[in-house]
Amino acid sequence: MPHFVFSQFNIAKVIQPNFMLGGSASQFRISLADFENVYDGRWGPSYGGFAGVRVFSAHYAVLKYGTFQRDGKTGTHESSGLDLKNAHWDEKWYSVGLRIHPPIATKVQSYYGFGLSFFDVSEVEGLSVFDSNSRNSGLGSGFYMELGLEYFPISRVATFFEMQIASGGVHGKTGFEAMSVGGFRFALGISIYPF
C-alpha cells in the first residue's frame, strides 16, 4: 500500500525536512469591537512570513511575522474632534510557537500549530480607537492557533491555505473577544523545505 501511495503522487520517498520558511498574503478580520468607530471596516489585507526548525519528530519551533493596516473612515473623532480620515492603524504581530507538520509523503496534506503572539499597535495621536487616556501606541500579548492545508507540486515546495485565530490585548485591555486586537486570518502562501 505505501508503494501505491508514493507512485500515485510521484514522490520517491518520505521526507521530514529540518527547516521550513514561507510567506503569505491574506485577509484579516480584527476582533476589536470599537474598531469601526474610527477605521474603515474590520476586514483588510495582511502580509506575513514564517520560519521554522525541526526540534524533534514532526514538531517544529516556528517564528511568525504579520502586518495589518487600516485607514480612518469619514467623520470626526468623538473625543478629540479631529478628522477621522487622518487616522491610521498599524499593527504588527510577532509569534513564536510549535507546528506539527507530518512527513512529506503525499501531494496534499495538513498541519496545525499554536503558540504565543506579541502585538505592536500604533495609531495617530488624538485618533485612537481606545479611550483618550491611552497612548497612541501599545504593546500586548496573547496566543494563536493555526490550521493549514498544503499542496506539493514538487517534494520540497508547497502552496498552502491557512486559517489562523489569534487573541491579544494592548493598552492594559484584555485579549479576548471584543477587546482583542487579534482576529481571524485567512491566508494563501508558498512554503519551501530546503533541507
Q: How would you write the pLDDT of the chain (195 residues) with one tens digit per residue?
A: 444 343 444 555 789 999 999 999 999 999 998 899 999 999 999 999 999 999 999 999 999 999 999 999 999 998 888 999 999 999 999 999 999 999 999 999 999 999 999 999 999 989 999 875 555 567 889 999 999 999 999 989 999 999 999 999 887 666 666 789 999 999 999 999 999
The C-alpha cell at 92 is 504588527
Three-state SS for 86? Answer: helix
CA distance 95 to 48: 11
Residue ranges covered by each domain of the chain? 2-183
3-state secondary structure 1-58: CHHHHHHHHCCCCCECCCEEEEEEEEEEEECCCCHHHCECCCEEEEEEEEEEEEEECC
CA distance 14 to 19: 15
Fold of 2-183: Porin (2.40.160)
